[in-house]
């Protein structure tokens, strides 16, 4: 009897998995919320995994060129933080506004929102691409790069900045598809981009077969080509006549009121990302007092945490889409229930992760390093921060739900309070008294505080009246 039930549930899960990966139109404003979450979350989780693979693949091959090459990648990525922040902010606003129009059954208006976001991305990508590409050596010098890094990596930095349009549009088109509920297209575009990057990286870096040996520059070229091909696939999908959204000349016409609204909502998304990233930079600065091994231990531990956050972020994106569409369909109660169901699913997942982090953190870290001191510090970080993951899981989803409603300002303030006003001072203060564990406790306390604030704000419900 038990085995029969297991087989039935397995068949149901397999059926849902197959359905979630099919490119077909669905109405997420009706029917089972749980089913809608699963159908949206699976491709979005896989999409987030593809984002992480980009960075892992590049570092895997670049590491074979030596420390200077790896340093160039790290410094360039640090400089491009602003680019990512702006891209994510615009993408966040685009998802919210597109989802709201789709929920209202106004597809032409949803396409018009997408069109406005493309103009914004074109302007910003041009500015960043020209300035970053032209002044790449000077920017590396400002970042304190050594002469070897500047000599080795200025072309890499030039190509990465010059190709910034590929980053903007890959983020943006995927945001459009997520808002429309076409999560499988967003996922596939990153599959294509990653597949090309994985093939071209070794070919262009080391000169395999007919390809020239471009060294570090080859990594930038491979990444840019992969992302560009992914964008071509996205454009083809937007031009299809049977898609949920169809990009036409009418949609690309400038609409100033809609454009101003998009920029207003985007500002909050940019602020959220910049607050979180800058806070982590300052926390790392506090850790440098304790030496290289402390920095390495926390860096590896947070990389492990980042990897397990990917499913949570995918679930959060699914919640944001559902909230936006259901508010557009004038169903605020369904929007609330969608966010809470996604939250409890995330809490259950994070509770399992917490058990592993607290129980066997050393096992997870040995795959990254053999240094016993680094492992010990990283394990301490995983134990302390991991213990609070089930509570942190609440804030992750609820704030994404609020973002999905188009209220990006409120999560920005929550980030400001939890990370700038609390995490940074606590990290510095606790480090004086408790050394490295004090920094880990500061991370834990700030995450728990963030979730408590998110619950209070979400329950007040003002985000439901957001006009986007």
Range of the domain at 169: 27-254
Reply yes or no on whether the pLDDT at 394 is more than 90: yes
In the predicted model, is pLDDT for residue 235 greater than 60? yes
> Are 308 and 241 in the same domain?
no
- Say yes or no to pLDDT of 246 above 80: no
Among 408, 390, 389, 388, residue whose Cα is nearest residue 399: 408
Tens digit of each residue's pLDDT (9 = 90 or more) over 279-317? 887 887 888 788 878 877 887 788 788 878 878 888 999
What are the helix (H) ranges across 329-461? 332-359, 361-365, 372-387, 389-404, 409-415, 424-434, 436-460
CA dihedral 98, 100, 104, 108 (to 10 degrees): -20
Q: Is the pLDDT of residue 374 over 80?
A: yes
Q: Which of 226, 254, 282 is the last residue of a domain?
A: 254
Are 279 and 241 found together in one domain? no
Confidence (pLDDT) at 3: 66
Instruction: Give per-residue pLDDT as tens, 77-95.
Output: 778 878 888 888 999 999 9
Least-confidence region, from 242-251, 341-350, 437-446: 242-251
Predicted local distance difference test score (pLDDT) of residue 61: 83
Q: How far apart are CA 68 and CA 301, in angstroms?
A: 24
- The predicted pLDDT at position 4 comes to 65
DSSP SS3 for 23: coil
When divided into structural domains, the chain yields a total of 2
Residue 195 forms part of a structural domain: yes
Q: Among 15-29, 130-144, 182-196, 440-454, which stretch is predicted with the lowest mean pLDDT?
A: 15-29
pTM score of the predicted model: 0.86
Q: 156: closest CA among 88, 216, 83, 91?
A: 216
Domain boundary among 198, 221, 254: 254
- Please indicate, yes or no, if residue 246 is contained in any of the structural domains: yes
**Inside any domain, residue 461:** yes
Look at residue 210 and tell me if it is in a domain.
Answer: yes
With a CB cutoff of 8 Å and minimum separation 6, the contacts of 40 are 20, 28, 181, 183, 317, 318, 321, 322
Helices (H), 255-360: 256-287, 292-328, 332-359
Dihedral, CA atoms, 66, 72, 77, 78, nearest 10 degrees?
A: 120
Last residue of a domain, one of 223, 254, 285: 254
Assigned token pair, 435: 């050394």
């Amino acid at each position: 009897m038990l085995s029969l039930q297991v087989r039935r549930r397995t068949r149901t899960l397999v059926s849902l998995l197959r359905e979630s990966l099919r490119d077909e139109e669905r109405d997420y404003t009706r029917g089972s919320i749980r089913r809608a979450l699963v159908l949206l979350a699976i491709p979005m989780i896989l999409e987030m995994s593809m984002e992480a693979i980009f960075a892992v693949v590049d570092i895997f091959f670049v590491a074979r060129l030596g420390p200077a090459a790896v340093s160039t990648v790290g410094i360039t990525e640090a400089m491009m933080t602003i680019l990512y922040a702006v891209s994510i902010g615009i993408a966040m606003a685009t998802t919210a506004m597109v989802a709201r129009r789709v929920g209202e059954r106004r597809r032409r208006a949803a396409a018009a929102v997408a069109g406005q976001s493309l103009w914004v991305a074109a302007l910003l990508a041009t500015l960043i691409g020209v300035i970053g590409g032209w002044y790449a050596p000077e920017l590396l010098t400002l970042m304190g790069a050594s002469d070897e890094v500047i000599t080795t990596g200025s072309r890499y930095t030039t190509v990465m900045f010059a190709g910034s349009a590929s980053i903007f549009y890959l983020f943006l088109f995927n945001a459009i598809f997520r808002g429309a509920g076409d999560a499988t297209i967003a996922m596939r575009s990153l599959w294509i981009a990653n597949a090309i990057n994985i093939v071209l990286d070794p070919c262009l870096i080391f000169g395999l077969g007919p390809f020239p040996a471009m060294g570090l520059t080859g990594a930038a070229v491979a990444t840019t080509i992969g992302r560009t091909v992914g964008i071509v696939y996205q454009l083809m999908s937007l031009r299809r006549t049977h898609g949920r959204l169809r990009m036409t000349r009418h949609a690309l016409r400038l609409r100033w009121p809609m454009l101003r609204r998009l920029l207003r909502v985007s500002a909050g998304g940019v602020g959220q990302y910049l607050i979180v990233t800058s806070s982590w930079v300052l926390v790392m600065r506090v850790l440098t007092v304790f030496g290289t091994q402390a920095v390495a231990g926390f860096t590896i531990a947070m990389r492990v945490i980042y990897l397990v956050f990917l499913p949570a972020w995918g679930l959060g994106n699914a919640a944001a889409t559902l909230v936006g569409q259901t508010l557009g369909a004038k169903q605020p109660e369904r929007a609330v229930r969608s966010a809470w169901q996604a939250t409890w699913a995330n809490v259950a997942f994070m509770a399992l992760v917490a058990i592993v982090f607290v129980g066997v953190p050393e096992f997870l870290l040995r795959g990254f390093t053999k240094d016993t001191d680094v492992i010990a510090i990283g394990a301490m970080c995983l134990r302390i921060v991991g213990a609070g993951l089930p509570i942190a899981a609440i804030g992750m989803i609820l704030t994404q739900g609020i973002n999905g409603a188009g209220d990006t300002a409120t999560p920005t303030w929550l980030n400001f309070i939890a990370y700038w006003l609390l995490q940074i001072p606590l990290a510095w203060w606790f480090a004086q008294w408790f050394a490295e564990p004090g920094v880990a406790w500061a991370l834990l306390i700030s995450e728990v505080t963030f979730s408590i604030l998110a619950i209070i704000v979400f329950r007040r419900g003002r985000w439901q009246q957001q006009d986007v």
